[in-house]
Structure 1
Amino acid sequence: MRVSELLTFALASAALASPVEERDAKVTPSKRPNHPIAPHHPGKAFPASPARKKTCTVKANGNGKDDSNNILSAIKSCNNGGHVVFPKDKNYTIGTALDLTFLKHIDLDIQGTIKFTNDTDYWQKNAFYQTFQNATTFFQLGGEDVNVYGGGTLDGNGQAWYDLYAKDIYILRPILFGAIGLKGGTIEDLKFRYSPQWYTFVANSTDVVFSNIDIFGGSTSENPAKNTDGWDTYRSSNIVIQNSHIDNGDDCVSFKPNSTDIVVQNLVCNGSHGISVGSLGQYVGEVDIVKNIYVANISMSNASDGARIKVWPGAASALSGDLQGGGGSGEVANVTYDGMTISNVDYAIEITQCYGQKNITLCNQFPSNLTISDITIKNFKGTTSDKYDPLIGYLQCSSPTVCKNINISNIDVKSPSGTDLYSCGSISGIESQVHCTTNGTKGGNS
């Protein structure tokens, strides 16, 4: 065989062995979505994302074999200006923790299905530890100018985790989608399924938009899927979450410490714990700030809460063995809930500075170190569940000195018995806005 023939054969063999396919006639890249941020906007401009100039296709090994190396190879090949395609008819398996915080000017076009293995021993040891509330993630996606879309599915294979958590509440359950240190990007037109814990964690990120995300996942055993928040934002700003459907078992969206300039709009939430600020003030010595939040046009059904602000008291308390705290400081300021339709929701509105503390008298003796101010809640309608009937809301601060300028208006919400009572305490002027009683059951704790 001639040298030229040997070279041709070697190159062909290498191409067959490559985990990356250049674009071919069988693969059609998705067009990048263009979902406008509307009707509300955080007010700060989002950076432009230039067109990509190269396309790579990820090969699937099939038969449940780990595709992590193929995925990483395709991403590295197309990083800094490329478009990575996961074809529509392919199923991918990830059994290795992937650190993707190096991404730059890249589109990930997930048309097929990506499923994470249920090797709970591996993931407990190797998932990425995110510090806050012992959160871990299957992968870390970060960098600059990253777009993820394609209409495909990310599946957390959560059943093994739901069953394991029922036996041991101290296990570390990975979050399905971790946007960690992402500076500019969109995550759109995707399905998130069966996350072991929270579905999405947005940490140390700015200028990120989530649109048209479909979240669903419940347990098929007697062990429920717990703590499956739709989104949790943490140390992040200029974030939009919009136009999405969430069917889960915990907060639909939760603004964790140091979440600022965020818009959440046009969501359908079912089975959740509401759109929540917090919990905050959990850790002594840390300053938690949540401000400039706008929540609009939400449908909330079969939930524990509609609008919710939850703050730990000034002294240590324990919600459960794996969730305890209190004594931290900070502020919640300039938060608006504008427009919510509720159905079978336990409390339409809940504000508490006694999160985790079952004894309100004790909570008042140790008021929260975290202030709540300039809160607007308006334009709600619907019917609560019968859980707290005749109450429809719970408004209990730990002291009027740390809770002020709470404004509630145009609330057309009734209990099943037709009442619109709130349990009120330590909020100056609240009696002139809503129908208060000093009686009442403590609000949701999860």
Structure 2
Amino acid sequence: MILLFSLLILSFEGFSSCVADFDQDVSSLGAFSLHGVGAYAAGFYEEMEGDEGDLLVRSIDQIRNFGGRSNEKVVSVEDYGAKGGGADDTMAFEKAWNAACSSDSPVSLLIPKGNTYLLKPITFSGPCNSDISVMIEGTIEASSNPSDWNGKNQRLWIYFNKVNNLAVLGGGTINGNGKVWWQKSCKVDKSQPCKDAPTALTFNACNWLRVESLNVINSQQIHVEFENSKNIIVSSISISAPGNSPNTDGIHVTRTQNITINHCTIATGDDCISIVTGSQDVHANNIICGPGHGISIGSLGAKGSIAQVSGVTVDTAQFSGTSNGVRIKTWQGGKGYAKNIVFKNIEMSNVKNPIIIDQNYCDSKKPCGQQKSAVQVSNVQYSNIKGTSASKFAINFNCSKSFPCSGIVLEDIDLVKNGGGSAKSFCANVKWSKEGTVIPPPCALQLEDA
């Protein structure tokens, strides 16, 4: 079995290492094409067990050399009638996508630089006949008229659905034109009903995906979302919206496995990165965050739901002026787990809650009553986290009485109050341990005292 697997890998052109989805039969791999996609050998591992060679673990840290290749056919949106300059170019983009998606050879869909193209809600659907690179070199701007979403999904603007082997890159700008939506948000105007607003860029069921070198600004709500997808590289993305813009998360990850987010700068009115249920093997490296609400796992377990998040690593990040640093937030009454999480090599500057676990999260007008169930939080490591706290509690562990936090490790922490002075720790219902120097010292209130 191992020999057969090795021969199949060698048959893929251009691979230094190769991984495929083994939910399918190994015999089907011959039809699996990944034009121009490769994996760094150091980031790829597999474990085989037993005579039948069951694949237990597969991981990929990088997908490279994919998108914008010189031998790709080019389809420009202007070839299909896109004019730019304020005209509605939605239909032209749809026609150009259909031509690209039906191509029997690798193709680049070009959005030329030097122009701004206005789009109403649009869906780019797969599966496609070959691999596609979407080269956004110009600017794509959302319609400023919310009525253009009437009868359509209010949560979507640019939507990639079931497109595998896709690259979206080019250095251009995606402008959600969100101000008109923010003004009608119930978080800004209490008289308004609470409604969904569009996510600027959504990828659903897109496997073997690369998103690189884009500017995403002023989204109506979430800027970029990955859902129900596997094997993703996100790199060199700049995301920007005012600090008071409501629900404008930078990157949102849900029901997605094996995603790496590299070298991104995010300034928003909500979480810079939010990771919610169904997400596994999420790696965020070299992130600059602020303003915003920090990097959050959650919220999880709303309305008694089951949440499962595991294998999250945040390595090398800078937070400036954010309301939180690294946060895990779960609702009372939820079920499931958030486990095997690492936050390391992080700098905090004037951050209100640098390190926080909140198992009693409540984003509701009505008080959230005490519940007997909770999402279990366990095996969380904080290592080499330094800087300044905007509040007196630099470490805040507010855990559940019914399902206390466990396996919490603090190592080489140095957090002081912004402007000078000592910060404090707050602990409720948590089992922690420490290694090296930890400032402020973990508080004496432990599980047995809570």
Which amino acid is the alignment partner of residue 443 of structure 2?
Answer: C
Match of 1:213 among 222, 237, 240: 237
In the alignment, is residue 242 of structure 1 matched against residue 248 of structure 2?
no
Q: Do the aligned partners of residues 194 and 90 (structure 1) sit closer, same or farther apart at CA in structure 2, a change above 3 Å counting? A: same
Contact 2:324–2:352 (Cα < 8 Å) also in 1: yes
1:283 aligns to what SS in structure 2?
Answer: helix
> What is the CA–CA distance in structure 1 between the aligned matches of 2:44 and 2:430, rounded to whole Å?
30
Match of 2:220 among 196, 203, 214: 196
Q: Do the aligned partners of residues 215 and 186 (structure 1) sit closer, same or farther apart at CA in structure 2, a change above 3 Å counting? A: same
In the alignment, is residue 311 of structure 1 matched against residue 330 of structure 2?
yes
Q: Do the aligned partners of residues 196 and 148 (structure 1) sit closer, same or farther apart at CA in structure 2, a change above 3 Å counting? A: same
Match of 2:347 among 338, 341, 352: 341
Contact 2:85–2:117 (Cα < 8 Å) also in 1: no
In the alignment, is residue 88 of structure 1 matched against residue 91 of structure 2?
no
Aligned to 1:21: none
Contact 2:39–2:63 (Cα < 8 Å) also in 1: no
Gaps of 5+ in 2: 1-34, 46-57, 446-450
* Match runs of 1:12-91 below 5 Å: 44-45=59-60, 49=66, 53-59=72-78, 60-79=82-101, 80=103, 81-91=106-116
1:295 aligns to what SS in structure 2?
Answer: strand
1:211 aligns to what SS in structure 2?
Answer: strand
Which amino acid is the alignment partner of residue 84 of structure 1?
Answer: L
CA distances 1:253-288 after superposition (whole Å, capped 9, x unpaired): 11111110110010111111111110001133x321
> What is the CA–CA distance in structure 2 between the aligned matches of 1:281 and 1:229, rounded to whole Å?
19
Q: For residue 367 of structure 1, report the CA deviation from its aligned partner.
A: 4.0
Which amino acid is the alignment partner of residue 44 of structure 1?
Answer: S
> What is the CA–CA distance in structure 2 between the aligned matches of 1:146 and 1:308, rounded to whole Å?
31
Aligned to 1:409: 411
* Match runs of 1:107-146 below 5 Å: 107-123=133-149, 125-127=151-153, 136-142=155-161, 143-146=163-166
2:195 aligns to what SS in structure 1?
Answer: coil
Which stretch shifts more, 166-175 or 119-128?
Answer: 119-128
1:187 aligns to what SS in structure 2?
Answer: strand
Match of 1:277 among 274, 285, 297: 297
2:361 aligns to what SS in structure 1?
Answer: coil
Which amino acid is the alignment partner of residue 115 of structure 2?
Answer: K
Contact 2:389–2:423 (Cα < 8 Å) also in 1: no
Q: For residue 208 of structure 1, report the CA deviation from its aligned partner.
A: 1.1
1:170 aligns to what SS in structure 2?
Answer: coil
- TM-score by length of structure 2 reads 0.77
> What is the CA–CA distance in structure 1 between the aligned matches of 2:421 and 2:230, rounded to whole Å?
44
- TM-score by length of structure 1 reads 0.78
Q: For residue 102 of structure 1, report the CA deviation from its aligned partner.
A: 3.7
Aligned to 2:25: none
Q: Do the aligned partners of residues 40 and 377 (structure 1) sit closer, same or farther apart at CA in structure 2, a change above 3 Å counting? A: farther
Contact 2:94–2:122 (Cα < 8 Å) also in 1: no
2:325 aligns to what SS in structure 1?
Answer: strand
2:148 aligns to what SS in structure 1?
Answer: helix
Q: Which has the higher contact order (CA 8 A, sep 6+)?
A: 1
Which amino acid is the alignment partner of residue 435 of structure 1?
Answer: P
Q: Do the aligned partners of residues 264 and 411 (structure 1) sit closer, same or farther apart at CA in structure 2, a change above 3 Å counting? A: same
CA distances 1:68-94 after superposition (whole Å, capped 9, x unpaired): 111111122122521111111121110
Contact 1:201–1:232 (Cα < 8 Å) also in 2: yes
Contact 2:205–2:227 (Cα < 8 Å) also in 1: yes
In the alignment, is residue 428 of structure 1 matched against residue 431 of structure 2?
yes
Q: For residue 430 of structure 1, report the CA deviation from its aligned partner.
A: 5.5
Q: Do the aligned partners of residues 344 and 39 (structure 1) sit closer, same or farther apart at CA in structure 2, a change above 3 Å counting? A: farther
Work out the number of aligned pairs and report it. Answer: 377
Gaps of 5+ in 1: 1-31, 129-135, 315-327, 439-446
Q: Do the aligned partners of residues 352 and 71 (structure 1) sit closer, same or farther apart at CA in structure 2, a change above 3 Å counting? A: same
Percent same amino acid among aligned pairs? 26
Contact 1:101–1:180 (Cα < 8 Å) also in 2: no
Which amino acid is the alignment partner of residue 295 of structure 1?
Answer: V
Contact 2:409–2:434 (Cα < 8 Å) also in 1: no
Aligned to 1:356: 362
Aligned to 1:133: none
> What is the CA–CA distance in structure 2 between the aligned matches of 1:293 and 1:218, rounded to whole Å?
27
> What is the CA–CA distance in structure 2 between the aligned matches of 1:41 and 1:277, rounded to whole Å?
25
Aligned to 1:375: 380
> What is the CA–CA distance in structure 1 between the aligned matches of 2:42 and 2:407, rounded to whole Å?
26
Q: For residue 137 of structure 1, report the CA deviation from its aligned partner.
A: 1.5
Aligned to 1:323: none
Contact 1:202–1:233 (Cα < 8 Å) also in 2: yes
Match of 2:371 among 366, 373, 377: 366
Which amino acid is the alignment partner of residue 398 of structure 1?
Answer: S
Q: Do the aligned partners of residues 200 and 211 (structure 1) sit closer, same or farther apart at CA in structure 2, a change above 3 Å counting? A: same
Contact 2:372–2:402 (Cα < 8 Å) also in 1: no
Contact 2:63–2:232 (Cα < 8 Å) also in 1: no
> What is the CA–CA distance in structure 2 between the aligned matches of 1:216 and 1:36, rounded to whole Å?
30
> What is the CA–CA distance in structure 2 between the aligned matches of 1:246 and 1:429, rounded to whole Å?
31
> What is the CA–CA distance in structure 2 between the aligned matches of 1:243 and 1:275, rounded to whole Å?
14
